[in-house]
Amino acid sequence: MAEFTLELNDDQKQVRDWLHGFAADVIRPAASEWDEREETPWPVIQEAAKVGIYSLDFYAQQFFDPTGLGIPMAMEELFWGDAGIALSIVGTGLAAVGVLANGTEEQIGTWIPQMYGDADDVKVAAFCSSEPDAGSDVASMRTRAVYDQAKDEWVLNGTKTWATNGGIAGVHVVVAVVDPELGSKGHASFIVPPNTPGLSQGQKFKKHGIRASHTAEVVLEDVRVPGHCLLGGKEKLDQRLARARERAASGGERVKNAAMATFEASRPAVGAMAVGTARAAYEVALDYAKTRTQFGRPIIDNQGIAFQLADMRTQIDAARLLVWRASWMATTGKPFTSAEGSMSKLYASETAKKVTAQAVQILGGNGFTREYPVERMHRDAAIYTIFEGTSEIQRLVIARTLSGMPIR
């Protein structure tokens, strides 16, 4: 088991510097253009694939870093470059985590490589959980998966929403209800392979921020997938459903939910994304405060500005520490007895919103224009307190974990 440390080793520093260089040289120069276009930045994703950033091998190396710091370090640097483009580069990772969290070794080896493609033929993947009437309330999910035993196929029907890469993805990972009587415990995850009939893109959303990341509805109409596309396999599903029924009858402990397992694994990574955006805005504000003069002196000489910057840096460092702790705990198998994963996501997300707003204020009128990047960073930061569990849901998870009450 790796000891907890705040010092990156030489290999990690090398990777961090490499990612920072890509973010500075490739992502940032393209950020404003793709934000305005509100389109997937395929050329940037392809560049990331060419240098090895957008690849299964890269994310596997970071995911299996024994210190747990590989993924949060990578997320921070990429999102320091630009949140929208970075989400287009890493969005496939949520679908991959869905397979890693719930799939068999064979499914992991078969489907995750197909999610990325290669540098000459880049692909993306989508994780589809939220629905128009079931976001945080996963128990209200309506998408159904019915098993056709004669053909060994699952038939999926429903509509998913807020899906990153939804509709343009090759591989979709879809969470559906297999036993409505069990509520959220009756869910399972399915692979929908490329070009499967019945899957289509619904509405594409025009968003406040992260506009370079494609977000859309995914419509499933009699989508048939082979039995082997059920993540974890039918035998494991039947056993899990049987346990859920027994515990429901006896009032026992809860059974792991497929969608929640994915979110629990990814929350510290989302916190790291928020840290990257906050750090970027802070650095712009700091540089501006040191060079902008009013009344014959740099505005950082004013305590009103200086104290804001001090608070911004303190909050960013505190958020990073919470993210690193949760990431280390997850990697080393330490349970989140106090919902440390949700703590990291909650605090980092709220910090990103606060810090980017302060950065706009420090830049004054300039901060309100698109000539400076803090306006875009502030819009982008709003998503962190919403997706993969709102701040309100994180507080609920933390409170119920501390009290010992079940998280439904």
Q: pLDDT value at position 385?
A: 97
Q: pLDDT value at position 115?
A: 96
Q: Would you give the DSSP letter of residue 149?
A: T
Dihedral pair phi/psi, residue 132, rounded to 5°:
-55, -35
Whether the predicted pLDDT of 156 surpasses 60: yes
Q: What 3-state DSSP class applies to 252?
A: coil
In whole angstroms, give the CA distance from residue 40 to residue 213: 6
Q: pLDDT value at position 257?
A: 52
Q: pLDDT value at position 262?
A: 54
Q: pLDDT value at position 136?
A: 65
Strand partners, 321: none
Instruction: Scan for tokens 């035998």, then name that residue.
Output: 235
Mean pLDDT of the region 41-69: 94
Dihedral pair phi/psi, residue 131, rounded to 5°:
-135, 165
**Residue from 361, 403, 353, 305 nearest 83 by CA:** 353
Q: pLDDT value at position 324?
A: 96
| Tokens coding 133 | 């009437």
Q: Backbone dihedral region of 216: left (phi > 0), alpha (psi from -120 to 50 degrees) or beta?
A: beta
Q: What 3-state DSSP class applies to 62?
A: helix
In whole angstroms, give the CA distance from residue 99 to residue 97: 5
CB 257 within 8 A of CB 237: no
In whole angstroms, give the CA distance from residue 261 to residue 259: 5
The torsion of the CA quartet 90, 92, 97, 100, rounded to 10 degrees, works out to -130
CB 92 within 8 A of CB 125: yes
In whole angstroms, give the CA distance from residue 77 to residue 90: 12
Whether the predicted pLDDT of 259 surpasses 60: no
Over the stretch 198-250, which tens digit does the pLDDT of each residue have?
Answer: 999 999 999 999 999 999 999 999 999 999 999 999 999 999 999 988 887 77
Q: Which residues are catalytic?
A: 388
CB atoms closer than 10 angstroms to residue 286: 17
Those residues with Cβ within 8 angstroms of residue 391's Cβ, 6 or more apart along the chain or in another chain: 346, 349, 350, 385
**Residue from 90, 89, 99, 85 nearest 128 by CA:** 99
Cα 325–chain centre separation = 18
Burial class (CB in 10 A: 0-12, 13-18, 19+), 224: middle
CB 348 within 8 A of CB 275: yes
Beta strands 144-148 and 153-164: pairing type?
antiparallel
CB atoms closer than 10 angstroms to residue 87: 24
Q: pLDDT value at position 28?
A: 98
Q: pLDDT value at position 2?
A: 65
Whether the predicted pLDDT of 254 surpasses 90: no
Over the stretch 176-203, which tens digit does the pLDDT of each residue have?
Answer: 999 998 888 899 999 999 999 999 999 9
Whether the predicted pLDDT of 369 surpasses 90: yes
Integer-rounded Cα Rg, in Å, for the chain is: 22
In whole angstroms, give the CA distance from residue 64 to residue 330: 11
Mean pLDDT of the region 115-119: 93
In whole angstroms, give the CA distance from residue 396 to residue 399: 5
Q: Would you give the DSSP letter of residue 165?
A: T
For Cα atoms 258, 384, 270, give the angle at the middle one, nearest 5 degrees.
Answer: 55
Mean pLDDT value across the chain: 92
Q: pLDDT value at position 260?
A: 53
Q: pLDDT value at position 3?
A: 73
Mean pLDDT of the region 287-310: 96
Whether the predicted pLDDT of 81 surpasses 80: yes
Whether the predicted pLDDT of 255 surpasses 50: no
Whether the predicted pLDDT of 18 surpasses 50: yes
pTM tops 0.85, yes or no: yes
